[in-house]
Every structure is written in C-alpha cells, then in structure tokens.
Amino acid sequence: MRTCEIAFSIFLAVSVAALSIRTGKATSTTIQVYPSVQSAILGDNVRVDINLDFAENLSGYDVSMSFNNNVLSAAAIEYEGYLEEPTLPVLQEVNNSVGYVRLVILSYNSPVSKTGGSPPPLATVSFTAIGIGTSVLHLNETKLAASNGSAILHETMDGQVTCNAVPEFSSDIALPIFLIVSALVLATAQKYKRNRH
C-alpha cells in the first residue's frame, strides 16, 4: 500500500512539473492583434497588425483571424517579412462572405529566433468600415512551427474595431464644446435683441 502511495505521489509531482513547463512555454509566446482597440467611422480604412512577441526556432506559421463581415470588409492580408528569406507563401486568403482572413508562410532558410527589438508583424490586414457596430478580431486556430516540424505552444490576444456613423467625442471634450456653442448662441441672441430695439 505504501509503495502505491509513493508511486502516485511521484506521478503527481511529474505531472504538475510537466504541466507548469507547458504552461510556462505557452505564456512566453503570444500572437496578438495590434492595436488591440480601434475606432473608425463609416468608409474609413483600418489597418491592424498580427504581431508575435517571441518565438524560438520559428520556421513557419498559419494565422487566421475572423471578423464581423457586417461591420468590416477585408481588402488584403499581407506578409510583412517576419521569417528569414526566402519564404514560400503557402496560402493568402481573404473571405468576406464568411468573415475571415488567413496567411500561411514557410521559410526555406535556417530559422532564427526573434527576441527583443521590434520585429515586423507576421501579417498586416487592411479593412474598410462598412457598418455600424463592433467587430471582434478573433485569432483562431493559429499555428507556429519549429524547424523540426514540432508545434510551438503559444497563446493569442484578440482585438476589436468599433465603427460609428460619426466621430465619437470624448466626454472631456463634449462639455466644453457644449458650453462654447451655448455661449455663442446666447451672445448672438442678445445682439439680435439689441439690434431690434
């Protein structure tokens, strides 16, 4: 009985250690939409980057981002030179009827780890604001591949774009504008009243 308890304790310790190693790896590599929050008015062109903060031994990636096709229309998803050249664009897809974009890129060269500095984005997506509302820019089924073909664990951070009919004013600006307009209306009314007498 004692041997079973010891074996179980060892199994549990190894499992927890493996889980924390996996979790640590997953949180050290992040694919994210930048800027994470944007505002636009109808007809505006909007650009968002899909950034990767760090990846060791990266030789290819597959990024998909869905969006609300009642609010945004995607024009293009462009490769921005993140991997070592020469590269092979396996897939570059824009689908506005469903509402997603996808880019799959592989590098022929030996991979180089990207750390620190400001590497280019994995991709840049160009949109046009076509409807009023908020569209979540959801990164889904993203994949990062190391040179040996293994997956690089990572997490994702989505973004959003809010489209309005007219530009939004901050509440800090709205009150002063209202007071100035009110003062001008009162001054004009008093001047008109004096001119009539």
Q: Which residues pair with 159 in a beta bridge?
A: 137
Question: What's the CA angle centered on 36, arms 31 and 38, to 5 degrees?
Answer: 150
Check the CA dihedral 70-75-76-80 and report its sign. negative
**Burial grade of 136 (CB within 10 A; 0-12, 13-18, 19 or more):** middle
Give the C-alpha separation, 161 to 118, whole Å: 24
Q: Are 89 and 105 in contact (CB under 8 A)?
A: yes
Q: What is the rounded CA–CA span in Å between residue 10 and residue 22?
A: 18
Q: List the beta bridge partners of residue 134.
A: 162
State whether residue 182 is helix, strand or coil.
helix
Low-confidence ranges of the chain (pLDDT < 50): 1-27
Cα–Cα distance, 197 to 182 (Å, whole number): 23
pTM for the predicted model, two decimal places:
0.68
Q: State the virtual CA torsion across 178, 184, 185, 187 in degrees, nearest 10.
A: 140
CA angle 163, 95, 64 (to 5 degrees): 85
User: Tell me, what's the pLDDT at 6?
Assistant: 40
Domains and CATH numbers, the chain: 29-170 (2.60.40.680)
Quote the pLDDT of residue 197.
63
In residues, how long is the chain?
A: 197
Whole-number pLDDT of residue 85: 81
The DSSP line for 55-122 is BTTEEEEEEEEE--TTTEEEEEEEE---SPSSEEEEEEEEETTTTEEEEEEEESSPP--B-SS-PPPS
* C-alpha 86 chain-centroid distance: 26
pLDDT, residue 179, reads 72
